[in-house]
Amino acid sequence: MASIGEHGGDDVRKRLRALGLRPTRQRVALAELLTTGEHRHLSAEDVYAEARNAGIRLAYTTVYNILHQFTAAGLLREVVVEPGRTWFDTNTGPHLHLLDEESGTLQDYPIDPKSLHLLNELTLDDDLEIADVDIMVRVRRKPGRD
Amino acid sequence: MASIGEHGGDDVRKRLRALGLRPTRQRVALAELLTTGEHRHLSAEDVYAEARNAGIRLAYTTVYNILHQFTAAGLLREVVVEPGRTWFDTNTGPHLHLLDEESGTLQDYPIDPKSLHLLNELTLDDDLEIADVDIMVRVRRKPGRD
DNA sequence: GTAACTGCAAAACTTTTGCAACCAG
DNA sequence: CTGGTTGCAAAAGTTTTGCAGTTAC
């Protein structure tokens, strides 16, 4: 594990600054929390709870502020599944989402961007360009004998 | 224009019944409203307002109930763009969505399902199958000279 | 010192719930 | 009749706002 210790996080600070974000105590703490370990899907509430558990003192409002700033900066991706169910995805690489509607489970599935052949053929207005593509595959248990 | 007149809607009634939905006054009226004319993206509020303007008396709750029932029955598609921004799409054919984040505008773009080559290669659990696929292409105005 | 940022409480929104009244078959 | 539907008001949930106080540089 890299040296993201007690008083560490110098690299995080640099990265934040490069994104035009002042490395405040709260932003550094959340950035470390969110970029450490496996990729995850977290609700704002999840992030708040985890932060508090980790001993980070910060307000709920601040969690929202920072999550949105991180999303705008490309550190996170926002995934809206249903109204009132927003996930922040720590995986910003090319992937699609598998949603099991029965359980509400969201799963990443890596894809080769080149396979999105279709997107190169979209006819857009001349002054428009593709900023991002979200693909959600809704899966269900096969019907039949239970 | 087909005969969807004052006291008409017999075909609508049949269609609703075929879907297992009792053709109540409210359901018939909304089904006519939503299946007439061009395809559109409507919020629950839009539908409520349009219905009232058209002289249909019904409750906000009922609009939600019916929109969800229609969605489950395949008469509509639900599109969630951001938390607190759900659209009901009257176009149930194969298409993707272009979202201009600046303006919040959502636009349909027809696609050939066969071009979704990628989806045939997804490795899913044996008891799972694809129920539906939502593709959202976020577009933005090209940066550069203003 | 100053602009950027945070924290708190309240507000704003959309969507859901519970239950009595109503209607279709 | 009888269960499926509707309507109303109230509740639930998430996300946003306004503004005073704090912090980064």
Of residues A13, A10, A29, A33, the one with CA closest to residue A21: A13
pLDDT grade for B3, boundaries at 50, 70 and 90:
very low
Question: Tokens 């594990």 appear where?
Answer: A1
Give kind and range of the element (H or E) at residue B133: strand B128-141
What's the whole-number mean pLDDT along residues A7-15? Answer: 82
Cα end-to-end span (Å), chain A: 45
Is the pLDDT at B141 greater than 70? The verdict is yes
Minimal CA separation from A37 to chain B, in Å: 25
**Model confidence, pTM:** 0.90
Which residues lie near nucleic chain D, judged by CB under 7 A? A 17, 22-25, 43-45, 60-61, 64, 68, 84-86; B 21-22, 24, 26-27, 57-59, 61-62, 65-66, 83-84
Q: Which fold has domain B2-89?
A: Arc Repressor Mutant, subunit A (1.10.10)
Structure tokens at A146: 């239970």
Render pLDDT for A85-134 as a digit per residue (tens, 0 to 9).
899 999 999 999 999 988 888 999 999 988 888 888 899 999 999 999 99
Cβ contacts (< 8 Å) between A116 and chain B: which residues?
118
Instruction: Tell me the pLDDT tens digit for each residue of A25-58.
Output: 999 999 999 999 999 999 999 999 999 999 999 9
Cβ atoms A87, A44 nearer than 8 A: no
Q: Where are the domains of chain B?
A: 2-89, 95-139
* Residue-by-residue DSSP string for B51-82: HHHTT----HHHHHHHHHHHHHHTSSEEEEEE
Residue B103 banded pLDDT, cuts 50, 70, 90: confident
